[in-house]
């Protein structure tokens, strides 16, 4: 009796499912934005150095660059988490929510139908009850009226009889309504018992199973939500380990040595300042053993030079004077001289790496030559019947499309001819159904159309063979000895790909070549093609066209090449005569693993 409450509860369950799906979606957006911001951060702080502006590769800088690379990989794993959550959790939740809504709607509709049916039974029972009650009242009134007239001495016998008849009628109607009420009551009680003990419990059981499945699905999604994160933990741990290894690779002594090697000037330290005695003029009579000597003049000059050297040494922390030695070249940043004059490298600079990175980032966009050709050919003159104004490949496609269209029209005409022949046979057997001669004009017109279409197909196939011959000659797909053969190597298969199989079928009967004698000689030199099946002629065929094979109705022929979609099959007689016959005229039986006639 809690149908409405269960309706609300199941709706709440679906709302909660969608609420969790919305939570997962927002979490996915957070992961995506987080990964995007991490990538932007890495891109912002990645070194962008040109070969002209290279810095010494300190271990701290290399470690920082490695950390940036690991952080970029970490951002990729956040994207993997977002993608996994979107596919495994969010997508699954949305699909399940849709299915859940459909199932819930179906169960609730069944419950409402059962409740409506029970209400209808109750109304029928209530109406029969009210009707029975009304008829009982009328019967009581009739009985009272009859008793009053029966006891009345002034009442006539006719009035008494009439009142008695009315009483009998009302009593009979009351009995009928009583029986109907009893039947409706029994029916309602049965339906009510069935409703509360069979129908509704079954519907509630289905709703319960549905709600339990929803709960299980939520549990699986909770687990999948955590698994999406747990799957990438090993890779994230490797990224963090890479950052720790990068931190451990920092070597302060090596960085200090790099700084020393980078800024080492190679100058000698300044010497001691000599003592300058200004009392020589006063004490001239002092002996030569004094500390002052005439060589002090020379020392004075050396002192100035030494002071100049000392001043030149301090340019790293002050104003740089004019260099007294050759200017410092970039080579001196990477090499140092040994006492014996040799040089050894100090830094492992890779200028080629940066040059290659610039080359890789440059992507010139050159228009496709094919598109230029296509635009060029589009500017040519008006279209010709054989499409010779088009390039070979486009011409081949156009011709193939036209041949396919003509084959479809030919198939329609063939079906129409078969239908007319069958109808003519029926008219001949049953003249009352129609005149067979009335179908002859239409049949003649159809045959004429078929001949015209065959000629068109043959003409287009000749052009197609010409185009494909040129293409095959350019691509060296055909041997020079097979140029005049009926079945050319390198023909295009019906699927549009080239094939080198010489046993594959051309699209129509062979055309008359310029040198038929040479063609016959070459064709007769080849071994006969093996039979792949046999056929029985359903209709006679005259075979007037070149390359076709005439046949009689009921004649048995060997099949040596199947129909390639053009409506022609290559067949052979017992005497070895070969040619093409219409596929619709024969009943084909192919044999598997056939090794020849």
Mean pLDDT of the residues in the chain:
75
CA distance 66 to 47: 11
Confidence of residue 371 (pLDDT cuts 50, 70, 90): very low
Using the Cα atoms of residue 160, residue 166, residue 169 and residue 175 in order, give the sign of their dihedral. negative
The CATH superfamily of 2-259 is Arfaptin homology (AH) domain/BAR domain (1.20.1270.60)
CB neighbour class for 495 (10 Å; exposed up to 12, middle 13-18, buried from 19): exposed
pLDDT value, residue 322:
44
Per residue in 39-61, pLDDT (tens digit) is 999 999 887 765 544 555 789 88
What is the CA angle 199-205-209, rounded to 5? 150
Interval 481-486 mean pLDDT: 41
**Which residue blocks in 232-289 are alpha helix, DSSP H?**
233-248, 252-263
Interval 325-336 mean pLDDT: 40
Per residue in 124-148, pLDDT (tens digit) is 999 999 988 888 988 888 888 888 8
Domain 533-590: state its class.
Answer: mainly beta
What are the backbone dihedrals phi and psi of residue 343, each rounded to the nearest 5 degrees, phi first?
Answer: -120, 145
Per residue in 336-370, pLDDT (tens digit) is 444 444 444 443 334 434 434 444 444 333 333 33
CA distance 478 to 228: 57
384 has a pLDDT exceeding 90 = no
**Domain segments of the chain: what residues?**
2-259, 392-473, 533-590
CA distance 337 to 343: 5
CA distance 560 to 571: 6
Q: Both tokens of residue 3? A: 């149908």
Confidence of residue 205 (pLDDT cuts 50, 70, 90): very high
DSSP string, 562-580: ---SSSEEEEE-TTS-EEE
Nearest one of 44, 128, 27 to 82, comparing CA atoms:
27
């Amino acid at each position: 009796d809690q149908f409405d409450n269960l309706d609300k509860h199941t709706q709440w369950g679906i709302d909660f499912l969608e609420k969790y799906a919305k939570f997962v979606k927002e979490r996915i957006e957070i992961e995506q934005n987080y990964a995007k911001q991490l990538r932007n951060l890495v891109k912002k702080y990645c070194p962008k150095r040109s070969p002209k502006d290279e810095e010494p590769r300190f271990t701290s800088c290399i470690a920082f660059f490695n950390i940036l690379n690991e952080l970029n990989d970490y951002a990729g794993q956040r994207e993997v988490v977002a993608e996994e959550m979107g596919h495994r959790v969010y997508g699954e939740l949305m699909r399940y929510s849709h299915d859940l809504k459909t199932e819930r709607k179906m169960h609730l509709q069944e419950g409402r139908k059962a409740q409506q049916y029970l209400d209808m039974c109750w109304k029928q029972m209530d109406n029969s009850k009210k009707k029975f009650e009304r008829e009982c009242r009328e019967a009581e009134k009739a009985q009272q009226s009859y008793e009053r007239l029966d006891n009345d001495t002034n009442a006539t016998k006719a009035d008494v009889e009439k009142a008695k008849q009315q009483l009998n009628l009302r009593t009979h109607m009351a009995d009928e309504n009583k029986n109907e009420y009893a039947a409706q009551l029994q029916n309602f009680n049965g339906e009510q018992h069935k409703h509360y003990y069979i129908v509704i419990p079954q519907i509630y059981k289905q709703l319960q199973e549905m709600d339990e499945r929803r709960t299980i699905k939520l549990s699986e999604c909770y687990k999948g939500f955590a698994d999406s994160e747990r799957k990438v933990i090993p890779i994230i741990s490797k990224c963090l380990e890479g950052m720790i290894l990068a931190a451990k690779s920092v070597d302060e002594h090596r960085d200090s040595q790099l700084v020393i090697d980078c800024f080492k000037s190679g100058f000698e330290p300044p010497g001691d300042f000599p003592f300058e005695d200004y009392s020589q003029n006063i004490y001239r009579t002092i002996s030569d053993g004094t500390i002052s000597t005439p060589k002090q003049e020379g020392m004075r000059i050396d002192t100035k030079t030494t002071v100049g050297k000392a001043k030149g040494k301090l340019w790293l922390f002050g104003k740089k004077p004019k260099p007294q030695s050759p200017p410092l070249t970039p080579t001196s940043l990477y090499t140092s001289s040994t006492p014996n004059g040799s040089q050894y490298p100090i830094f492992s600079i890779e200028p080629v790496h940066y040059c290659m990175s610039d080359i890789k980032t440059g992507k010139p966009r050159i228009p496709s030559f094919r598109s230029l050709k296509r635009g060029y050919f589009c500017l040519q003159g008006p279209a010709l019947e054989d499409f010779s104004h088009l390039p070979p490949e486009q011409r081949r496609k156009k011709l193939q499309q036209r041949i396919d269209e003509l084959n479809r029209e030919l198939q329609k005409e063939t079906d129409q001819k078969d239908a007319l022949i069958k109808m003519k046979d029926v008219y001949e057997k049953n003249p009352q159904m129609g005149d067979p001669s009335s179908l002859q004009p239409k049949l003649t017109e159809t045959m004429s159309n078929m001949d015209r279409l065959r000629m068109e197909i043959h003409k287009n196939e000749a052009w197609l063979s010409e185009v494909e011959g040129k293409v095959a000659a350019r691509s060296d797909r055909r041997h020079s000895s097979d140029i005049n053969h009926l079945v050319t190597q390198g023909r295009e298969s019906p699927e549009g790909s080239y094939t080198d199989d010489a046993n594959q079928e051309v699209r129509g009967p062979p055309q008359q070549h310029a040198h038929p004698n040479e063609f016959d000689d070459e064709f007769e030199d080849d071994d006969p093609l093996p039979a792949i099946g046999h056929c029985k002629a359903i209709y006679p065929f005259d075979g007037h066209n070149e390359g076709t094979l005439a046949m009689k109705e009921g004649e048995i022929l060997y099949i040596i090449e199947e129909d390639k979609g053009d409506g022609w099959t290559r067949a052979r007689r017992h005497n070895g005569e070969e040619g093409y016959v219409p596929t619709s005229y024969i009943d084909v039986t192919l044999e598997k693993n056939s090794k020849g006639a």
